[in-house]
Structure 1
Amino acid sequence: MRNLGKKNIIGILIDAVDYEAALDFIFRAAQEKKGTTISALAVHGVMTGVLDSEHKFRLNHFDLLVPDGQPVRWVLNLLYRAQLPDRVYGPNLTLKVCERAAAEGKSVYFYGSTPEILIALKQSLDEKFPGIKIAGAEPSKFRRLKPEEKSELAARIISSGASITLVGLGCPRQEAFAYEFREVLSMPILAVGAAFPFIAGLIPQAPAWMQDRGLEWLFRLTSEPRRLWRRYIYLNPAYVFLVLLQMLHLSRFTTSGVAPATETLYG
């Protein structure tokens, strides 16, 4: 198990952890019924915080930010000698959480995505982990929630008996969701990005060789060019440039951010 704590990558505090350390953290929080926030961040997730001071504040108040992308892991290893053998990939982390939850008799709740994806997700998990306890699965409303809807959603999750909530709303909405629900849900809240459709088998994942070489972005760009071209064409070079500034000590990146003035209540 490897956990070297939080490390500043261009202003975002990423935890230098492996899968084992992340799982240990999640299940300790579940056992203690402690409201905690976890997210798996690749380059896009890091850059959402770099470009938005309020979102930087949210991310840097998360309990655990794991290195989802290879370029994030590489920077941890390069700048901080973390010696992480692998990234902590959101879909794989989700599978490992579900596997351990099934083994320990803990239940999970899924929030986000569409009804079709959630149905396929549940079927996939039932096949992979017989006996898994899925306390509930609720699709996104794809809009802002009213304050009373937030309270009602929290009440549904709590009354379901879930030990862990997994959120798939896309970055940065899912991180805002986790941050805003952290005090009303006494359990770990994991923001896991595209894990739901990937595990459901409805969106193809990059081949292992592309993932290992940090080329997953290219696979996803060619799969969904209209939706993702701005993310990768602009943000990837910006990330590399800012990391170089940090490596060469040409710029210091503050981690403070600005406390959000209001809740987004995106659901």
Structure 2
Amino acid sequence: MEAPYRTILKMPVAITSYEDAGQRILKAASQGLGWYVCVANVHMCMETFDIPEFKTVVNNADLVVPDGVPLVWALKALGEKTATQVRGSDLLLHLCRESEKSGIPIGLYGGTPDSLNDFRKFLKNEYSDLKITFSYSPPFRELTQEEQEKYVREIRASGCSILFVGIGCPKQEKWMAGHRDKIPCVMIGVGAAFDFFSGRKKHAPRWMQKAGLEWLFRLASDPRRLWKRYLKHNPRFIYYFGKQYIRYRFGRNEKV
């Protein structure tokens, strides 16, 4: 059974929790299904809003979870009072813990060689019995067809049932969508999670996460890379979601 969802702008977002999302993912993984899961924030929402091709990628995902607090606020504003945040990094730990208990093998695809190695050490320290049957840091360039086919063969041969993909949005979502029919496992886009858990990037304090200010912490940590993204997307998200909320609240039918 599919998770209930609500559409924010042009992106359907699941009304779920760590336990519910985890159960759905683990069930699909145990059945060898080719799934992909998008971990959504305002950036992804606006990329979906702006780019029809990316909208198709995200809307075809098997599960889209609300990683960003603003999306949870939006869900609640649209009447989904039980909506809760499902942060990608916390979902990753939840799934690793449950995979260790149930013996489900996992794989890692993304990061740099150093961050990936340190992330593996972190996981083995936290979950000593966790089966990590595949890990690879792809080069920061377009892969050749031969390379793509080689990695697919290696992932399939590894037997991993859950594959964490950390190559950044929107690249990782496009990669997962392009490989769903080729790799019989659940792929989850986790962005920079490998860097966070390897200690190369810092998590925002919990109070900032809960207050919806994680974006501000990340901006302060990496302003040169992120300022254009937040300047472009955040004000526009507020504007267009405001129009959606008015339509919901007062029953108007104008398009966003």
TM-score (norm 2): 0.94
Does 2:136 match 1:138? yes
Letter in 2 for 1:60: N
Tell me what 1:154 maps to: 152
| Structure 1 position 4, deviation (Å) | 5.3
| SS of match in other structure, 2:234 | helix
Trace 1:56-75 onto structure 2 (pairs within 5 A): 56-75=55-74
Structure 2 portions without partners, runs of 5+: none
Cα 1:185–1:128 change in 2 (3 A) is same
Superposition pairs for residues 50-89 of structure 1, below 5 Å?
A: 50-84=49-83, 86-89=84-87
* Residue 220 (structure 1) aligned with residue 223 (structure 2): no
Aligned to 1:9: 8
Which residue pairs with 1:264 in the alignment? Answer: none
Q: 2:29: which partner in 1?
A: 30
Code of the aligned partner of 1:247 = Y
- Assess if the C-alpha contact under 8 Å between 1:16 and 1:82 holds in 2: no
SS at 2:4 equivalent:
strand
3-state SS, counterpart of residue 17 of structure 1: coil
Question: In the aligned structure 2, how far is the partner of 1:173 from the partner of 1:50?
Answer: 16
1:205-230 superposed Cα distances (whole Å, 9 cap, x missing partner): 10000000000000000000000001
Alignment CA distance shift 1:181-1:4 (3 Å): closer
Instruction: Give the whole-Å Cα distance in 2 for the aligned partners of 1:137 and 1:82.
Output: 39
Give the equivalent residue in structure 2 for 1:125: 123
Per-residue deviation, residues 124-153 of structure 1 (Å, max 9, x unmatched):
111111111111210021111222222111
How many residue pairs match? The answer is: 250
Unaligned runs of 5+ in 1: 254-267
- Mapped pair 1:177 → 2:175: yes
Question: Which one-letter code corresponds to 1:210 in the other structure?
Answer: M
Detail structure 1 runs of 4+ shifted over 2 Å in the superposition: 250-253
Asked if structure 1 preserves the Cα contact closer than 8 Å seen for 2:35 and 2:187, the reply is yes
* 1:16 partner letter: I
DSSP-derived class of the 1:72 partner = helix
What do the CA deviations read for 1:78-106 (whole angstroms, capped 9, x no partner)? 1032412x310010011111111111111
Aligned to 2:74, what secondary structure does the other structure show?
helix
TM-score (structure 1 length as normaliser): 0.91
Aligned-residue sequence identity (percent) comes to 35
What's 2:100 paired with?
102
- Which residue number corresponds to residue 256 of structure 1? none
Aligned-pair Cα RMSD in Å: 1.3
Match of 2:189 among 191, 205, 213: 191
How big is each residue's C-alpha offset from its partner over 1:4-50, in whole Å with a ceiling of 9 and x where there is no partner? Answer: 51211001111111111110111011111000110111111111111
Q: Helix, strand or coil: the match of 1:103?
A: helix
Structure 1 residue 252 and structure 2 residue 218: aligned? no
Deviation (angstroms), 1:252: 3.1
CA distance in 2, matches of 1:25, 1:144: 32
Change (3 A) 1:98 1:4: closer
